[in-house]
């Protein structure tokens, strides 16, 4: 083992809870270039996980580095309350241009979880300013994921991630996920009449619409449901139910935003406009922490008419260097047509993924959209029986794939919030067809080894 690696491994004990759950890193990330990351020995890995879901324009893009450097030379930080922040104002204007037409204002923070916290408070204050201060409940979905902070975790129906923190969480109502592969109601589409959407109406009636502030959902699923794509009727029904009950529809596009699914925002695949969008990962490309809340004009107007202040802020939010980075990322996405590219390549990605992986006995389902794919790993393909959670097979799949030189993101809980392993892949939008083939070949090989270990 090299001295450098040995030193890093020793230093790791200084960092509490290093790694990702039970997944502890064993190698150093030395540098990145395009779709590749390199370790301390120069070994090359295809970043097929894109972060997870963060790396949109590829690693090490000099244009972003230059934009950040230029802004740092001018001013790295100044307080939002004292100065107009030009890069941030331009960023807001540019984001609004690519957002659904009713969304006319941006609010910035540093992470997806912060964005979720923000919208929970924003939705409640919006109702309160309209004389409906009793509206506070946020309804969301089982197996949904909106972040790790307390309100965000309360809105996340991910049983595993919630399990140690129960007493700290709000016990807000949840509905079943629109995941046909594991329909929570044991029904079949279209005979189900979209029971998963109807349940929202029922639960709002049960708890009383006067208490319900918002419904929150990831347009296309992320970690909890492994890139679940609801049926075409789903979001139009959700929109109608929310309108009927004066409930805001909050669309979590932390993963799905800024081109990942082949549209600027995943919800566009349904032609539906939410009242609020949260987004983060792809807009940063991984160059900086940044998240955005994009808000319907009607919400802004209520605050404006009442002269109300939104008492919610973070010191580092909207940092000008981060804004400059995101602007450069947006420039590249737009100039290089990367959203259209993600849509076009997405077709190839799913075709090749199906051809190269679906023959494996452990691959139960492959789902997703654009360059966002979830691969569900099952013990029994016929019965869809998951592996025992104690085996941590998704983590093991990540390790085997990484040894082969390809990165993917392991997740659990798709079956009941605890059981059910999945492996997510979401490469940078600049990936080529040949590189997609190479990555799937490595995953094919990794799955063969995985099967030798677990079947």
Ligand X SMILES: Cc1ncc(COP(=O)(O)O)c(C=O)c1O
- Residue 426 beta carbon to ligand X: minimum distance, rounded to whole angstroms: 11
- Classify burial at 17, counting beta carbons within 10 Å of its beta carbon; exposed 0-12, middle 13-18, buried 19 or more: exposed
Decide if residue 113 touches ligand X (CB under 6 A): yes
Cβ partners under 8 Å of residue 294, min gap 6: 95, 96, 99, 103, 105, 106, 276, 277, 278, 279
Check residue 288 for interaction with ligand X (CB under 6 A): no
**Half-sphere exposure of 114 toward its Cβ, with a 13 Å CA cutoff?**
18
- Rounded Cα–Cα distance for residues 157 and 161 (Å): 9
Q: What mask of x and - would describe binding to ligand X in positions 258 to 287, judged by CB under 6 A?
A: ----------------------x-------
47 binds ligand X (CB under 6 A): no
CB 143 within 8 A of CB 177: yes
Number of residues that bind ligand X (CB under 6 A): 14
Q: Does 446 bind ligand X (CB under 6 A)?
A: no
Give the nearer residue to ligand X in terms of CB position, either 73 or 164: 164
Smallest distance, Å, CB 122 to ligand X?
15
Q: Nearest distance from residue 280's CB to ligand X, in Å?
A: 5
In the complex with ligand X, the residue whose CB is nearer, 34 or 428, is 428
Task: Work out how close the CB of 342 gets to ligand X at its nearest, in angstroms, rounded to a whole number.
Answer: 17
CB of 223 to ligand X, least distance (A): 5
Closest-approach residue to ligand X (CB) = 112
Q: Looking at residue 147, what DSSP letter applies?
A: -
Cα first-last separation, the chain: 32
Pairing mode of beta strands 137-141, 212-218:
parallel
Cα gap 392→316, rounded to integer Å: 36
CB of 254 to ligand X, least distance (A): 3
Q: Which of 88, 248, 254, 377 binds ligand X (CB under 6 A)?
A: 254
Return the beta strands (E) in 42-136 as ranges.
44-46, 103-109
Is 220 a binding residue for ligand X by CB under 6 A? The answer is no
* Tokens representing residue 65 in the block: 């580095």
Nearer to ligand X, 222 or 364 (CB): 222
According to the binding rule CB under 6 A, does residue 147 interact with ligand X? yes
Bridge partners (DSSP) of residue 137 are: 212
Instruction: Say if residues 408 and 423 touch (Cβ distance below 8 Å).
Output: yes
Binding site for ligand X (CB under 6 A): 111-113, 116, 145-147, 218, 222-223, 252, 254-255, 280
């Amino acid at each position: 083992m090299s001295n450098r690696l040995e030193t890093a491994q020793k230093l790791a004990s200084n960092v509490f809870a290093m790694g990702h759950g039970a997944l502890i890193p064993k190698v150093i990330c030395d540098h990145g270039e395009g779709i590749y990351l390199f370790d301390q020995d120069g070994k090359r890995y295809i970043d097929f996980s894109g972060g997870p879901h963060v790396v949109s324009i590829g690693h090490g893009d000099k244009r972003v580095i230059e934009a950040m450097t230029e802004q740092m030379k001018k001013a790295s930080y100044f307080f939002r309350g004292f100065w107009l922040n030009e890069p941030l104002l331009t960023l807001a204007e540019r984001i609004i241009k690519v957002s659904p037409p009713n969304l006319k204002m941006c609010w910035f923070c540093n992470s997806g979880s912060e964005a979720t916290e923000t919208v929970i408070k924003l939705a409640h204050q919006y109702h309160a300013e309209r004389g409906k201060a009793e509206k506070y409940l946020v309804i969301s979905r089982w197996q949904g994921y909106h972040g790790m902070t307390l309100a965000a975790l309360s809105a996340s129906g991910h049983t595993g991630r919630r399990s140690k923190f129960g007493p700290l969480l709000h016990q807000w109502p949840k509905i079943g996920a629109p995941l046909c592969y594991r329909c929570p109601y044991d029904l079949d589409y279209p005979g189900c009449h979209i029971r998963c959407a109807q349940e929202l109406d029922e639960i709002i009636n049960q708890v009383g619409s006067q208490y319900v502030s918002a419904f929150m959902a990831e347009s296309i699923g992320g970690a909890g449901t492994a890139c679940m794509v609801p049926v075409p009727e789903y979001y139009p029904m959700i929109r109608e139910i929310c309108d009927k009950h004066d409930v805001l529809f909050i669309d979590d596009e932390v993963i799905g935003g800024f081109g990942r699914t082949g549209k600027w925002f995943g919800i566009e695949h349904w032609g539906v406009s939410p009242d609020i969008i949260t987004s983060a990962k792809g807009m940063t490309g991984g160059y900086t922490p940044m998240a955005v809340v994009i808000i319907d004009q009607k919400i802004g107007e209520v605050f404006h008419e009442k002269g109300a202040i939104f008492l919610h802020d973070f010191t580092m939010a909207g940092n000008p260097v981060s804004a400059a980075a995101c602007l450069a990322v947006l420039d590249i996405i737009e100039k290089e047509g990367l959203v259209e590219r993600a849509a076009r390549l997405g077709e190839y990605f799913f075709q090749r993924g199906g051809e190269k992986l679906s023959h494996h006995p452990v691959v139960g389902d492959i789902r997703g959209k654009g360059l966002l794919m979830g691969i569900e790993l099952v013990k029994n393909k016929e019965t869809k029986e998951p592996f025992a959670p104690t085996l941590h097979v998704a983590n093991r799949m990540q390790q085997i794939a990484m040894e082969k030189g390809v990165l993917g993101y392991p997740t659990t809980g798709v079956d009941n919030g605890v059981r059910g392993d999945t492996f997510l892949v979401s490469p940078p939008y600049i990936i080529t067809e040949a590189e997609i083939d190479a990555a799937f070949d490595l995953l094919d090989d990794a799955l063969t080894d995985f099967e030798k270990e677990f079947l």
